[in-house]
Amino acid sequence: MSVQSALSPARNDDRDLIRDLDRKVHWLSAWTIHNANHLRESRDGLKVGGHQASSTSLATVMSALYFSVLRPEDRIAVKPHASPVFHAIQYLYGRQSLDQLERFRSLGGAQSYPSRTKDQDEVDFSTGSVGLGVAMTAFASIVQDYMLAHERMSPARQGRMISLLGDAELDEGNIYECLIEGAKHDLRNTWWIVDYNRQSLDATTSDSMFLRFTDIFAAVGWDVITLKYGYRLEAAFAKPGGEHLRTWIDDCPNDLFAALSFQGGEAWRKQLLADLSAHAGIVDLLAQYDDEALAALMTNLAGHDMDLLLETFHEVTDQRPKLFIVYTIKGFGLPFQGHKDNHSGLMTPTQMETFQARMGVPKGREWEPFAGLPRAASDYQAFIDQAPFGKRQADGPAPIIPVPDEASFPRPTGKQSTQVAFGKVMNDLARMGGPLADAIVSTSPDVTVSTNLGGWVNQRGIFARDTRHDQFKDSNIASPQKWLMGPQGQHIELGIAENNLFLLLGALGLAGDLFGGQRLIPVGTLYDPFINRGLDALNYACYQDARFLLVATPSGLTLAPEGGAHQSIHTPLIGMSQDKLSYFEPAFVDELVEIMRWAFDFMQQPEGNSVYLRLSTRALEQPDRTLSAAQIEDVIAGAYWQVEPAPGTELAVVYTGAIAAEAMEAFDQLREDIPGAGLLAVTSPDRLHLDWSAALKARAKGRREPSHIEKLLAPLGAGASLVTVIDGPPATLSWLGGVKGSRVSALGMDHFGQSGDLPDLYRTYGLDVEAIIDAAAASLDYGS
Ligand X SMILES: Cc1ncc(C[n+]2csc(CCOP(=O)(O)OP(=O)(O)O)c2C)c(N)n1
Q: Tell me: does residue 105 bind ligand X (CB under 6 A).
A: no
714 vs 752: CA distance, rounded Å? 36
Between 224 and 537, name the residue whose CB sits nearer to ligand X: 537
Q: Tell me: does residue 169 bind ligand X (CB under 6 A).
A: yes
Closest residue by beta carbon to ligand X: 166
Minimum CB separation of residue 336 from ligand X in Å reads: 13
Q: Tell me: does residue 177 bind ligand X (CB under 6 A).
A: no
197, 337, 525, 553: which one binds Mg ion (CB under 5 A) = 197
Binding partner selected for residue 129 from ligand X, Mg ion, none, CB under the kind-specific 5 to 8 Å limit: ligand X
63, 126, 199, 732: which one binds ligand X (CB under 6 A) = 199
Binding partner selected for residue 319 from ligand X, Mg ion, none, CB under the kind-specific 5 to 8 Å limit: none
Between 197 and 418, name the residue whose CB sits nearer to Mg ion: 197
Peptide bond preceding 554: is omega within 30 degrees of 0, i.e. cis? Answer: yes
Q: In this structure, are residues 136 and 162 in contact, taking their beta carbons and an 8 Å threshold?
A: no
Q: Tell me: does residue 341 bind ligand X (CB under 6 A).
A: no
Residues 6+ apart with CB under 8 A from 119: 87, 100, 110, 111
Cβ atoms within 10 Å of 71's Cβ, excluding its own: 12
# binding residues, ligand X (CB under 6 A): 17
What phi-psi label fits residue 212: left (phi over 0), alpha (psi between -120 and 50 degrees) or beta? Answer: alpha
Binding partner selected for residue 169 from ligand X, Mg ion, none, CB under the kind-specific 5 to 8 Å limit: ligand X
Minimum CB separation of residue 58 from ligand X in Å reads: 7
Give Rg (Cα) of the chain.
31
11 vs 639: CA distance, rounded Å? 66
Which residue from 541, 539, 570, 574 is spatially nearest to 555, judged by alpha carbons?
570
Q: Tell me: does residue 585 bind Mg ion (CB under 5 A).
A: no
Between 80 and 728, name the residue whose CB sits nearer to ligand X: 80
Among 3-11, 196-204, 474-482, 718-726, the segment contacting ligand X (CB under 6 A): 196-204
Among 35-43, 118-126, 191-199, 314-322, the segment contacting ligand X (CB under 6 A): 191-199
Q: Tell me: does residue 167 bind ligand X (CB under 6 A).
A: yes
The angle, 0 to 180 degrees and rounded to 10, between the axes of the packed helices 265-276 and 291-298 is 80
The angle, 0 to 180 degrees and rounded to 10, between the axes of the packed helices 12-34 and 377-386 is 100
729 vs 731: CA distance, rounded Å? 5
583 vs 139: CA distance, rounded Å? 25
Give the single-character DSSP code of 189.
S
Binding partner selected for residue 29 from Mg ion, ligand X, none, CB under the kind-specific 5 to 8 Å limit: none
Binding partner selected for residue 201 from Mg ion, ligand X, none, CB under the kind-specific 5 to 8 Å limit: ligand X
Q: Tell me: does residue 167 bind Mg ion (CB under 5 A).
A: yes
Instruction: State whether the Cα torsion 273-275-278-280 is positive or negative.
Output: negative
109, 114, 166, 522: which one binds ligand X (CB under 6 A) = 166
Q: Tell me: does residue 261 bind Mg ion (CB under 5 A).
A: no
Q: Tell me: does residue 328 bind Mg ion (CB under 5 A).
A: no
Please give the biggest Cα pair distance in the chain.
103
Q: Tell me: does residue 168 bind ligand X (CB under 6 A).
A: yes
Q: Tell me: does residue 642 bind ligand X (CB under 6 A).
A: no
Q: Tell me: does residue 199 bind Mg ion (CB under 5 A).
A: yes
555 vs 570: CA distance, rounded Å? 10
Which residue from 651, 663, 517, 492 is spatially nearest to 588, judged by alpha carbons?
663
Give the footprint of ligand X on residues 319-338 (CB under 6 A): 330
Q: Tell me: does residue 610 bind Mg ion (CB under 5 A).
A: no
Between 167 and 545, name the residue whose CB sits nearer to ligand X: 167
Between 100 and 200, name the residue whose CB sits nearer to ligand X: 200
DSSP H helix total and E strand total for the chain? 33, 18
Q: Tell me: does residue 206 bind ligand X (CB under 6 A).
A: no
Binding partner selected for residue 727 from ligand X, Mg ion, none, CB under the kind-specific 5 to 8 Å limit: none
Between 85 and 501, name the residue whose CB sits nearer to ligand X: 85
Q: Tell me: does residue 166 bind Mg ion (CB under 5 A).
A: yes
Binding partner selected for residue 150 from Mg ion, ligand X, none, CB under the kind-specific 5 to 8 Å limit: none
Instruction: State whether the Cα torsion 360-362-368-373 is positive or negative.
Output: negative
Q: In this structure, are residues 725 and 654 in contact, taking their beta carbons and an 8 Å threshold?
A: yes
Among 2-10, 93-101, 195-203, 271-279, the segment contacting ligand X (CB under 6 A): 195-203
Q: Tell me: does residue 590 bind ligand X (CB under 6 A).
A: no
**708 phi and psi, to 5 degrees?**
-60, -45
Burial degree of 777 (CB within 10 A; 0-12, 13-18, 19+):
middle
Burial degree of 328 (CB within 10 A; 0-12, 13-18, 19+):
buried
**468 phi and psi, to 5 degrees?**
-125, 150
Among 194-202, 353-361, 636-644, 704-712, the segment contacting ligand X (CB under 6 A): 194-202
Q: Tell me: does residue 81 bind ligand X (CB under 6 A).
A: yes
Among 63-71, 164-172, 722-730, 765-773, the segment contacting Mg ion (CB under 5 A): 164-172
Among 198-206, 209-217, 391-399, 473-481, the segment contacting ligand X (CB under 6 A): 198-206
Minimum CB separation of residue 327 from Mg ion in Å reads: 11
Minimum CB separation of residue 128 from ligand X in Å reads: 6
What phi-psi label fits residue 360: left (phi over 0), alpha (psi between -120 and 50 degrees) or beta? Answer: left
Query: Where on the chain is the footprint of Mg ion (CB under 5 A)?
Result: 166-168, 197, 199
Interface positions with ligand X (CB under 6 A): 54, 57, 80-81, 129-130, 166-169, 195, 197, 199-201, 330, 343
